[in-house]
Structure 1
Amino acid sequence: MSPNKSYDAVVLGAGVLGLSSALELAEKGLRVVVVARDLPEDLTSTGFASPWAGANWSSFATSEAERRRDTITFRHFERLSKTMPDLVRPADSAYMWNEEGVYGEQWYQDLTPNYRFLKGDELPRGFKHGIGFHTFTLDAPRYLGYLASQVRSRGIPVIRYRVSSLDEAYSLPGIGAVDLVINATGLGARTLLGVEDSLVHPVRGQTVLVKAPHVRKNINHKDAHERPEEKCYIIPRPGPEGHVILGGVQQAGRWDTQPEPDTARRIIERALKACPELSTDGTVEGVEIVSHNVGLRPSREGGIRLELEERVIGNGTDGRLVPHGATGGRGRQVAVVHAYGIGPAGYQSSKGVGEEVADLAVGYVRRRAAKAKL
């Protein structure tokens, strides 16, 4: 940390990963500023995915790193649920299927309380197999607002500014020179000059938000449906509104953000088969619809990119279309911690990702400081 600079790091992106990373960096003693095109208050913006998430802890981790991040976040939600139940609420989950071998034991059986195979009257009518466990549900927009309030309460500015190149971020107007950037730009990493990651792509999601305060259990129907990209899940949100998210679809490569009426009807019809209590009379028309939602999950082939990259900026030889004067010095050695491409796992991995980002960042700052003393 240099006493001659206002900030040690710029975080690009104010979604769930950007804000979580900013908090962890501040906890480690770094002076941070968050810069983003879309701010946490932009809850109707389709420019970023965080406001539209179903947002429950429902891990599909396959690697040790993913399991570690999800475990850290599960414990974090566990703590929050005890003091802020309208933000994070404990909930029973039931994952159900009929076709033999579709689903089975999960890695988190020793992490989540009351993990068990469902039998008899624990299964809704028409289902043969299931697992149950205790987990947590979130209200995604409210949780995003909570993170933003935590960030600002620590004196971290959250600034609306559209950055077109990674190099710009090291010397932004009104912020000054920094040597470290956190790249939490989500889908923006595909076109951000200096990153231009062609592995990044959207996975379109569509959900229906309904009012059903008596529905309190997460339900996920795991059998394949007639359209392979369509899914069936039911996620009750915490809070007094009694809202429940019905989903959904996973459509890779689609950028359109308008809800499709036929898709919405199929979502509700599938949800009613798994949970008839959603409707006052058992029909689609008996479901109290609050809104139709579409979000673009920031996915990446091969999974999240979470790593430190050391770079040299302002050398004038890389051919990038960087705005004039944006590099703040020729041949300057800097670094970026990339944290993008999480796909649908953003909320359930957020605390773990933030801690990992902070560890990489602090390691770089300490190595740089030690080198400067030599």
Structure 2
Amino acid sequence: MALPKPEKSPYDVVVLGAGVLGLATADALSATGLRVAILARDLPEDVDSAAFASPWAGANWSSFGNNESERRRDTFTFEEFGRLAKSHPEIVTRRQFKYIWNKDKGYSSPWYKDVVFNFRPLERSEVPGPYSEGVSFESYTLNPHRYNALLASRLRDRGVPIVRKRVSSLDEAFAHFGPVDYVVNATGLGAKSLLGVEDPAVFPDRGQTALVRAPKVDICFGVRDANMAEGKAVYVIPRPGSGGCVIVGGTNIKGEYSTLPRREMAESILQNAFEICPELANGGASWKDIEVVSHNVGLRPAREGGLRLEIEERMIQPDALVPEGGKSKSRPVTVLHCYGIGPAGYQANLGIAEEAKEITLKYFNKQRSRL
């Protein structure tokens, strides 16, 4: 005989999803004293899972914020990375970036030139490969596995449970830990099919990369040419705390779900990366001399219109998907949607979490004022 569900949950907030946005938001909320729990299909330690994007990111801070909100979130995250780089250099490292092109598409004077360090045009002799112009600046690269592990460790140290469970509907998250009234929906690509959300604007942005061993490469490169073919990307991102590994990429293919690396893409990625950074071959003569650790594919959780970060009031309708101990009455609940960041998850995650925290605190303060 099943035990009845508790009348009240021991938690104030349940975060649905444990990707980088879910973890960062749970961290920000729990730091305020709110009682937080996480419910997720994929956990931070699932670093080989192809089911979610967070383990496969580059990852670096290179903003492409298009509006004031995006730029504010990215700037907040950049400043926090500066603090983290001092305490955890194996997770976040400040280093030189070189962005290069033949035809500029705005990177010669980006909005963030006064945010990053030492922004300047490159001399022609400093521009690698078949490119003619570029800029140099200093920003941050991350180790996503270590970064997510740090967030998860902080959460667990505060007593935040991170529970593996696959849910079919958003309403299930309001019942798993006993009846809770506030859920953060950080399901990423899952928001497309999750019952109660089913957002048609969500789509995968397929990124294929290679992880290679090249201990002497310490500069982050990126091709930012206006004539680059759609879906193609060329970048080299040294990864801190990885024993000299570097991420090279890549692709940005909208709407494709395959997580199997493609041989022709893998070869093209290595060739393009070698062209701008021959040091990847560790003294070898061609791209074939690059020491490949793994070929990877991640599905970035993108959304038409960008990030969805907003409150929704809804009613829990008791049915088989919401087993609340035999309760028969519907009840009002609140969800904070926090998904759809696409390829900007790491460069914006702390700024988004800060904004989500402010929205959440405003909600709880309003609820207390009604008591």
- Asked if structure 1 preserves the Cα contact closer than 8 Å seen for 2:143 and 2:242, the reply is no
Is residue 2:95 matched to residue 1:91? yes
Partner of 1:12: 16
- 2:276 alignment partner, one of 274, 277, 291: 274
Is residue 2:340 matched to residue 1:338? no
Partner of 1:325: 323
Which is further off, 223-232 or 74-83?
Answer: 223-232
- Asked if structure 1 preserves the Cα contact closer than 8 Å seen for 2:104 and 2:225, the reply is no
Q: RMSD of the alignment, in Å?
A: 1.7
Partner of 2:368: 369
- 2:303 alignment partner, one of 300, 305, 309: 300
Partner of 1:67: 71
- Asked if structure 2 preserves the Cα contact closer than 8 Å seen for 1:167 and 1:322, the reply is no
CA distance in 2, matches of 1:136, 1:356: 22
Partner of 1:152: 156
- 1:189 alignment partner, one of 186, 191, 197: 191
Report the CA distance shift for 1:303/1:322 in structure 2 as closer, same or farther (over 3 A): farther
Report the CA distance shift for 1:324/1:181 in structure 2 as closer, same or farther (over 3 A): closer
Is residue 2:284 matched to residue 1:286? no
Q: CA deviation at 1:257?
A: 0.3
CA shift digits 1:146-192 (9 cap, x unpaired): 111111111100000111111111111xx111100000000110011
Q: CA deviation at 1:330?
A: 2.3
- Asked if structure 2 preserves the Cα contact closer than 8 Å seen for 1:22 and 1:34, the reply is yes
- Asked if structure 2 preserves the Cα contact closer than 8 Å seen for 1:97 and 1:103, the reply is no
- 1:41 alignment partner, one of 25, 42, 45: 45
- Asked if structure 2 preserves the Cα contact closer than 8 Å seen for 1:229 and 1:250, the reply is yes
Secondary structure of the 1:134 match is: strand
Partner of 2:34: 30
- 2:223 alignment partner, one of 221, 239, 246: 221
Partner of 1:123: 127
Listed as ranges, the matches of 1:174-185 within 5 Å are: 175-185=177-187
CA distance in 2, matches of 1:323, 1:231: 42
CA distance in 2, matches of 1:345, 1:107: 16
Is residue 2:53 matched to residue 1:54? no
Secondary structure of the 1:132 match is: strand
**Runs of 5+ unmatched residues, structure 2:** 1-6
Listed as ranges, the matches of 1:201-220 within 5 Å are: 201-220=203-222
Listed as ranges, the matches of 1:350-361 within 5 Å are: 350-361=349-360
Q: Percent identity?
A: 49
- Asked if structure 1 preserves the Cα contact closer than 8 Å seen for 2:8 and 2:180, the reply is no
Q: CA deviation at 1:213?
A: 0.7
CA shift digits 1:279-325 (9 cap, x unpaired): 132312210000000000000000010111111222x6xxxx86153
Report the CA distance shift for 1:151/1:120 in structure 2 as closer, same or farther (over 3 A): same
CA distance in 1, matches of 2:117, 2:93: 14
Secondary structure of the 1:176 match is: coil
* Aligned positions, number: 363
- Asked if structure 1 preserves the Cα contact closer than 8 Å seen for 2:99 and 2:221, the reply is yes
**Runs of 5+ unmatched residues, structure 1:** none
Secondary structure of the 1:121 match is: helix
Partner of 1:199: 201
Is residue 2:339 matched to residue 1:347? no
Report the CA distance shift for 1:361/1:26 in structure 2 as closer, same or farther (over 3 A): same
Partner of 2:3: none
CA distance in 2, matches of 1:297, 1:145: 20
CA distance in 1, matches of 2:106, 2:25: 36
Report the CA distance shift for 1:324/1:244 in structure 2 as closer, same or farther (over 3 A): closer
CA distance in 1, matches of 2:99, 2:249: 14
CA distance in 2, matches of 1:219, 1:55: 12
CA distance in 2, matches of 1:340, 1:100: 31
- Asked if structure 2 preserves the Cα contact closer than 8 Å seen for 1:21 and 1:354, the reply is yes
Partner of 1:245: 247
Secondary structure of the 1:80 match is: helix
Is residue 2:140 matched to residue 1:136? yes
- TM-score, normalisation: structure 1: 0.93
CA distance in 2, matches of 1:340, 1:312: 21
